[in-house]
């Protein structure tokens, strides 16, 4: 699709030729992730994370399908069915821990993937559609992970569902009705558990579908690269296979290593002890917290403590959803034509602040609400919105970028000659 010098699929075996005539799936694969897809030669390891996210989704789907063979989505027995998976099903503990920690690995990998996009300006033209589909995938993942966390029907499952569905009751007038409709009752119960299971099974496949669109949209302009400079000619690219299949294998190995360390040696590190207590609608946990990957958004929600025209709770809910939805507008908020932050000194600094800001928000989301914690959360939330909605558009207009290399090949050769003006640690 992308460049005129892309290699063409030429089946040599009669069987493959026959298949190519009837149903050219091998051709599709060849052009998508084989030698037929030319890719910039200078990608660094941050470009591994898309493939890793795909690997993580596959792991979730495989472990999830087997778990679903043993899981019972009924409030009376769900918790016990997880325990029998852990104790009585062959390798059940492995499946369950792989799925629970796999969700964390998936979100971790996707956060790095999104961070790569922010740093290297991957959301800019001509890849806006890739970015927009990415945000849709992110939303689907969050919904899937939230509903999955409800399934073990522990205390945090139940109270998490209670708090999150409670957001809807912040909507004026009809909110409470909507909440009851969504839950199928006044509080999370069988009806809610069953529909969450149904959707938790469905959404990963919807996600897989959107991922296909995401990759399709990517292959029209082709992959970006750490310099942000467009591909100028054949010397700037290498075929995806074997070059990036080999590099992705290295990334996959490291990913699996981290995953295995977590899964086998500290499988409950990222979980909450309260989720080993069966759901009990009559006993509220001292401290309701979501999974780690939702903490920054939870912190934003909790930071809105003042009524102003709208009630504080509604502000919090709007801001929390807004904090993600604003990502949809990013390609148009940042009007700078320079993609890579390596050449945008001011943007780079603000991005670094944003990263720290997100860690602060993550801490605040999980900490006890003492006054100084709330205060920190309010400052950090304000920066989050200011960063995307105010600072970014201004920086894009006022900053003086550093000179760009003329081409990818020039940048690579300059780096190897040791005289590149942009020898950044990120652009290996």
Partner 1 sequence: MVRLIASLVGAAFVFVLGLALFGTVSDWITNPPPESAEHEFHREALDAGLPSNGVLGRFDRRQVQRGFQVFQEVCSACHSLKYVSFRDLRQIGYSEAEVKAIAKGWKIEQPSINAETGEASTRPNVPSDRFPSPFANEVAARAANNNALPPDLSLMAKARHNGANYIYSLVGHGYVNQPAELLRKFPGAKTPTGLHYNQYFANLNIAMPPPLTQDGQVTYSDGTRASVDQMAKDVSAFLTWTAEPNLEARHSAGFAAVIFILIFCFLAWGAYQNVWRDVKH
Q: Is residue 102 within a helix (H) or strand (E), and if so which, with residue range?
A: helix 92-119
Out of 10, 382, 421, 423, point to the residue binding partner 1 (CB under 8 A): 382
Is position 273 an interface residue for partner 1 (rule: CB under 8 A)? yes
Which class for 311: exposed (0-12), middle (13-18), buried (19 or more C-beta within 10 A)?
middle
Neighbour tally for 400: CB within 10 Å: 7
Least Å from the CB of residue 154 to partner 1:
9
In the complex, the residues that contact ligand HEM under the rule CB under 6 A are 57, 60-61, 64-65, 67-68, 71, 82, 96, 99-100, 103, 106, 141, 144-145, 148-149, 151-152, 200-201, 204, 207, 271
Least Å from the CB of residue 274 to partner 1:
7
The partner in contact with residue 31, picked from partner 1, ligand HEM, none with C-beta cut-offs of 5 to 8 angstroms by kind, is none
Tokens of 394: 């201004």
With CB under 8 A as the contact rule, which of the stretches 67-75, 107-115, 133-141, 319-327 interacts with partner 1? Answer: 319-327
Task: Name residues contacting partner 1, limited to 3-62 (CB under 8 A).
Answer: 41-43
Is position 340 an interface residue for partner 1 (rule: CB under 8 A)? no
CA-nearest of 134, 107, 108 to 123 is 134
Least Å from the CB of residue 71 to ligand HEM:
4
CA–CA distance from 166 to each of 46, 157, 238, 379 (Å)?
Answer: 37, 14, 51, 25
Out of 322, 324, 351, 363, point to the residue binding partner 1 (CB under 8 A): 322
Least Å from the CB of residue 267 to ligand HEM:
10
Out of 68, 112, 333, 351, point to the residue binding partner 1 (CB under 8 A): 333
The partner in contact with residue 200, picked from partner 1, ligand HEM, none with C-beta cut-offs of 5 to 8 angstroms by kind, is ligand HEM
Place of tokens 């999955």: 148
Is position 249 an interface residue for partner 1 (rule: CB under 8 A)? yes
Least Å from the CB of residue 403 to partner 1:
21
Answer yes or no: is 113 a known binding residue. Answer: yes
Residues touching partner 1, count (CB under 8 A)? 66
Task: Name residues contacting partner 1, limited to 84-103 (CB under 8 A).
Answer: 86-87, 93-94, 97
Q: Is residue 237 within a helix (H) or strand (E), and if so which, with residue range?
A: strand 237-239
Tokens of 34: 């084989």
Is position 246 an interface residue for partner 1 (rule: CB under 8 A)? yes
CA-nearest of 287, 316, 322, 313 to 301 is 316
Interface mask (CB under 8 A) for partner 1, residues 209-238, using x and -?
Answer: -----------------------------x
CA–CA distance from 54 to each of 94, 101, 219, 281, 374 (Å)?
Answer: 21, 16, 16, 37, 37
The answer for residues whose C-beta is within 8 angstroms of residue 95's C-beta and 6 or more apart is 63, 66, 67, 85, 89
245 cis-preceded (ω within 30 degrees of 0): no
Out of 136, 256, 288, 351, point to the residue binding partner 1 (CB under 8 A): 256
Least Å from the CB of residue 275 to ligand HEM:
6
Question: Which residues belong to the active site?
Answer: 219, 223, 247-248, 291
Answer yes or no: is 99 a known binding residue. Answer: yes
CA–CA distance from 111 to each of 82, 104, 116, 424 (Å)?
Answer: 28, 10, 9, 22
3-state helix, strand, coil in the chain (%, to 5): 70, 0, 30
Q: Is residue 39 within a helix (H) or strand (E), and if so which, with residue range?
A: strand 38-40
CA atoms of 130 and 40, how far apart (whole Å): 17
CA–CA distance from 102 to each of 55, 62, 64, 66, 205 (Å)?
Answer: 10, 11, 10, 14, 16
Instruction: Please state whether beta strands 38-40 and 237-239 pair in parallel, antiparallel, or not at all (unpaired).
Output: antiparallel
The partner in contact with residue 75, picked from partner 1, ligand HEM, none with C-beta cut-offs of 5 to 8 angstroms by kind, is none
Q: Smaller CB distance to ligand HEM: residue 57 or 412?
A: 57
Least Å from the CB of residue 288 to partner 1:
15
CA-nearest of 255, 74, 44, 56 to 153 is 74
Q: Smaller CB distance to ligand HEM: residue 81 or 340?
A: 81
Is position 388 an interface residue for partner 1 (rule: CB under 8 A)? yes
| Ramachandran region, residue 222 (left: φ > 0; alpha: ψ -120 to 50; beta: rest) | left
CB contact at 8 A, 71 and 221? no
Tell me the binding residues for heme b.
99, 113, 200, 214
Binding-site positions read 99, 113, 200, 214, 219
Residues that bind partner 1 (CB under 8 A): 41-43, 80, 83, 86-87, 93-94, 97, 238, 242-243, 246-247, 249-250, 252-254, 256-257, 260-261, 263-265, 267-268, 273-274, 276-277, 286, 303-306, 308, 312, 315, 319, 322, 326, 329, 332-333, 335, 370-372, 374-375, 378-379, 381-382, 385-386, 388-390, 393, 412-413, 416
């Amino acid at each position: 699709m992308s460049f005129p010098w892309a290699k063409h699929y030429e089946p040599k075996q009669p069987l493959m030729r026959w298949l190519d005539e009837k149903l050219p799936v091998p051709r599709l694969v060849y052009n998508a992730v084989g030698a037929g897809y030319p890719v910039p030669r200078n990608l660094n390891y941050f470009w591994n994370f898309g493939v890793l996210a795909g690997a993580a989704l596959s792991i979730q789907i495989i472990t999830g399908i087997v778990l679903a063979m043993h899981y019972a989505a009924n409030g009376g027995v769900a918790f016990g069915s997880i325990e029998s998976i852990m104790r009585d099903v062959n390798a059940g503990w492995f499946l369950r821990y792989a799925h629970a920690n796999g969700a964390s690995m998936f979100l971790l990998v996707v956060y790095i993937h999104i961070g790569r996009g922010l740093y290297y300006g991957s959301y800019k033209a001509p890849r806006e559609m890739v970015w927009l589909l990415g945000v849709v995938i992110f939303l689907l993942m969050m919904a899937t992970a939230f509903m999955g966390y409800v399934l073990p029907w522990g205390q945090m499952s139940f109270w998490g569902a209670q708090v999150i569905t409670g957001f809807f009751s912040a909507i004026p007038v009809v909110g409470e009705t909507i909440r009851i409709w969504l839950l199928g009752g006044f509080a999370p119960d069988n009806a809610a558990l069953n529909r969450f299971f149904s959707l938790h099974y469905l959404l990963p496949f919807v996600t897989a579908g959107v991922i296909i669109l995401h990759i399709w949209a990517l292959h029209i302009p082709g992959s970006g690269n750490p310099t942000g400079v467009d591909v100028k000619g054949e010397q700037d690219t290498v075929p995806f296979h074997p070059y990036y299949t080999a590099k992705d294998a290295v990334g996959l190995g490291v990913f699996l290593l981290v995953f295995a360390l977590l899964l086998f040696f500290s499988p409950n590190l990222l979980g909450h002890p309260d989720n080993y207590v069966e759901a009990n609608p009559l006993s509220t946990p001292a401290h309701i917290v979501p999974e780690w990957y939702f903490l920054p958004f939870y912190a934003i929600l909790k930071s809105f403590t003042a009524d102003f025209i709208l009630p504080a709770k509604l502000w919090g809910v709007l801001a929390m959803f807004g904090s993600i939805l604003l990502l949809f507008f990013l390609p148009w908020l940042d009007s700078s034509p320079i993609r890579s932050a390596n050449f945008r000194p001011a943007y780079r600094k603000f991005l670094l602040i944003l990263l720290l800001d997100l860690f602060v928000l993550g801490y605040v989301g999980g900490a006890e609400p003492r006054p100084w914690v709330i205060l920190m959360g309010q400052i950090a939330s304000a920066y989050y919105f200011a960063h995307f909605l105010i600072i970014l558009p201004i920086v894009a207009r006022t900053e003086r970028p550093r000179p760009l290399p003329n081409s990818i090949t020039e940048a690579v050769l300059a780096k190897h000659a040791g005289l590149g003006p942009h020898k950044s640690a990120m652009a290996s």
